[in-house]
Structure 1
């Protein structure tokens, strides 16, 4: 699961739809009203990620979406790669705050309590751990520099996981579970 700035900094040269992967190698933020392209947070943040089919399908439709937004000559900002995956109607990077606003509208429409876009990383990590992914696999996916960061920040233990652990203990010690 990538960070918002990593997604907004993706270029088509970072995406391999045939292999179903993307490479994280830059970020974009908006600081003092200006877009700033930079390096990912840490060396481990620079990574190649496998994509679920649903993401490959969505990304395969993105060029058509971008063509629909192209109105005249693109107005790129300094340092902007020419092949950004996600661009605004003007051809500039998508403003991270616009992502937040769109996410908020989706939550309201779905009648889901407010949360932040970044909270999707928490949810992803928790669900993957609950599905049996190893700490190391989740750490690599999230691009953390250590397992400690992953486990201390994202490994919210679910009630179902606690019940499974209790059942395992029963099996080890001859309980009736």
Structure 2
């Protein structure tokens, strides 16, 4: 106590600070973020991560009572947690975000001199969790083939009719799901450009470069992101490398030319969303439109809502075709792996994905670079020993010069 007093620390105050709960310091941490350059959406994301993954196991504990063992236990629990959205274990990135947030909150307690060291300042080993999951699941993520995605897109773009029997009266009912070629094209576009969700929602007509000659390739420029939480207001991309141009294959460019010419109702407006959102039933009723009909359901002034397309079209198509559950983001993996396996240069793939470093691409898709048949790309043949000459035949007698 005398030592503490000699350096200006009040032991009684330190005891009170140490007895404050982790949630109290979390509140202090979140209140300190505005004005630091972190946008409000990111702060809200941090709050959600804390509420979902940290508050229940550790929130009521005094910060002085949190030990390294508690942090390791939390990490273990998170690695076994199943996501409500994807129905799969939490990604290592999500676990890493949660542990980084815990470390940042506890740093606030260290700065207040409530605790001497940060128990969450331990190294996070994503490789350990990945190795364990690969051993159990034999995979790191669900990667559909381009043929699977084409089948799902065809299912969404084709009218579906089926019958069912009403158990109450025994009558047969016919159900019709209208074709939706717009969202079918959006899925194919996503799988063949590798765009992130917010980037796809941020695309506008002006971002496309499509020569008028059929059968020629085009390109799309990624300039902005849009998210539903902000009312689809354009936002800057997170890194410089995220601003990029992605080439479009000739067949995809042809589909887009046809889509803009025949289907898109505001294609002359360069700032119109490339893929539209969907009207609700109430909005459709106000406008006198039947949203059950595919052609009448779109709001051409509103960007595509990936979450809605994912739940109402993507997942039902996967279930109907008996395909494995796959996130929308996994189409980005399909794009990258298909490009690498097709022989595209890894530097080009990294640039198209918008990765800040090529090492990021190599780390994520290292397993794809290996031959899937566990064979060498250029196998060697059995070595043939060269013909040996008799040693004696190689000896050349030297003649002495006459003096």
State the TM-score, normalizing by the size of structure 1. Answer: 0.77
Q: 1:20 aligns with which of 181, 205, 218?
A: 218
CA RMSD of aligned residues (A): 2.4
Residues 25, 40 of structure 1: 8 Å contact kept: yes
Residues 205, 271 of structure 2: 8 Å contact kept: no
- State the match for 2:306 in structure 1: 96
Identify the range of structure 1 (145-154 vs 127-136) with the bigger mean alpha-carbon deviation. 127-136
Residues 318, 324 of structure 2: 8 Å contact kept: yes
- State the match for 1:83 in structure 2: 272
Identify the range of structure 1 (104-113 vs 153-162) with the bigger mean alpha-carbon deviation. 153-162
Residues 225, 234 of structure 2: 8 Å contact kept: yes
Residue deviations 1:83-139, cap 9 Å, x none? 221112233112121231222122223321110111111122122222222221110
Residues 129, 155 of structure 1: 8 Å contact kept: no
Computing the radius of gyration from Cα coordinates, the structure with the larger value is 2
Q: Confirm whether residue 174 of structure 1 aligns to residue 383 of structure 2.
A: yes
- State the match for 2:375 in structure 1: 163
Q: Secondary structure at the match of 1:156?
A: helix
In the TM superposition, what is the alpha-carbon distance from 1:169 to its structure 2 partner?
4.8
Aligned equivalents of 1:57 and 1:5: distance in 2? 24
Q: Confirm whether residue 54 of structure 1 aligns to residue 257 of structure 2.
A: no
- State the match for 2:241 in structure 1: 44
In the TM superposition, what is the alpha-carbon distance from 1:42 to its structure 2 partner?
1.5
Q: List aligned pairs for 1:107-118, cutoff 5 A.
A: 107-118=318-329
Q: Confirm whether residue 31 of structure 1 aligns to residue 229 of structure 2.
A: yes
In the TM superposition, what is the alpha-carbon distance from 1:159 to its structure 2 partner?
4.5
Aligned equivalents of 1:62 and 1:128: distance in 2? 25
Greater relative contact order (Cα < 8 A, sep 6+): 1
- State the match for 1:76 in structure 2: none
| Unaligned stretches of 5+ residues in structure 1 | 71-80
- State the match for 2:342 in structure 1: 131
State the TM-score, normalizing by the size of structure 2. Answer: 0.36
Q: 1:149 aligns with which of 360, 366, 372?
A: 360
Q: Secondary structure at the match of 2:325?
A: coil
Identify the range of structure 1 (139-148 vs 123-132) with the bigger mean alpha-carbon deviation. 123-132
